[in-house]
Amino acid sequence: MSTAASSESRLPWSLVVPVKVLALAKTRMAAAAGPHRQALALAVAADTVAAALRCAAVRDVIVVTDDPVPAAELAALGATVVPDRPDAGLNPALEYGAARGRAAAPDAGVGALSADLPALRPDELARVLAAAAGAPEAFVPDAQGVGTTLYTVRPGVPFRPAFGGASRDAHRAQGARELLLDGIASVRRDVDTPGDLATALALGTGPRTAAVAALLDGGRPARPGVTG
């Protein structure tokens, strides 16, 4: 490995994770989750953030939220929590979080990570970030091949997240490198529907998601969480 490539692979990252106000989160899970919908949304976000914080390539996780409940729980895990400014939608919130990250660590790469990855594995995230370090701008498509679960830029590169709708095509169109690595299912498996949750549970979610999922399944034990 060249000196330049080795330096890229060791690039530290600040990851921005947007977390909705719980009353508005996981609406497509409403029928399946019932009174546990908000608890599920919090559990999924907490398992995502906990796994990201355990990734050796991650310097810090910046959570953007205006909800005091996830703010307190995710701060207790070790995340830096900032308010949603300018409260103008997802991408402006990500840009605000990224600016905070760059102010704290200008030599780190910056990424926007979905809060909906309860099966996220730190080693898989590390592999993706090592690959992302080799491109000015990169992204990982979601499992459906329509959206995006991770968008990254190297230090000094303009941060231009294009989340929402067909964000895979949007990130491709602006020249970001698509990262389609083998063995990164946990980085691509976001959870919006009951089917998504079942697939994530089969991969092995973190303990918080597994515990709430057990309540949705008539109290039967879910697959044990393995991502911590």
pLDDT tens-digit series, residues 172-189: 999 999 999 999 999 999
Cα–Cα distance, 178 to 169 (Å, whole number): 10
Burial of 106 (0-12, 13-18, 19+ CB in 10 A): exposed
- Residues 40-88: tens digit of each pLDDT: 999 999 999 999 999 999 999 999 999 999 999 999 999 999 999 888 9
186 annotated among ligand-binding-site residues: no
Q: Looking at residue 211, what is its pLDDT?
A: 97
Cα–Cα distance, 130 to 141 (Å, whole number): 16
Angle between helix 122-132 and 37-53 (nearest 10): 60
Q: Looking at residue 2, what is its pLDDT?
A: 42
175 annotated among ligand-binding-site residues: no
Could you tell me the residue ranges of all domains in the chain?
A: 3-216
pTM for this entry: 0.92
Which CATH number is 3-216 given? 3.90.550.10
Q: Is the Cβ–Cβ distance between 141 and 100 less than 8 Å?
A: no
Q: What is the mean pLDDT of each run of 10 residues along the chain (228 residues)?
A: 52 97 94 96 98 98 98 98 93 97 97 98 98 98 97 98 97 98 98 96 98 78 43
Angle value at C-alpha 70, between 69 and 74, nearest 5 degrees:
130
164 annotated among ligand-binding-site residues: yes
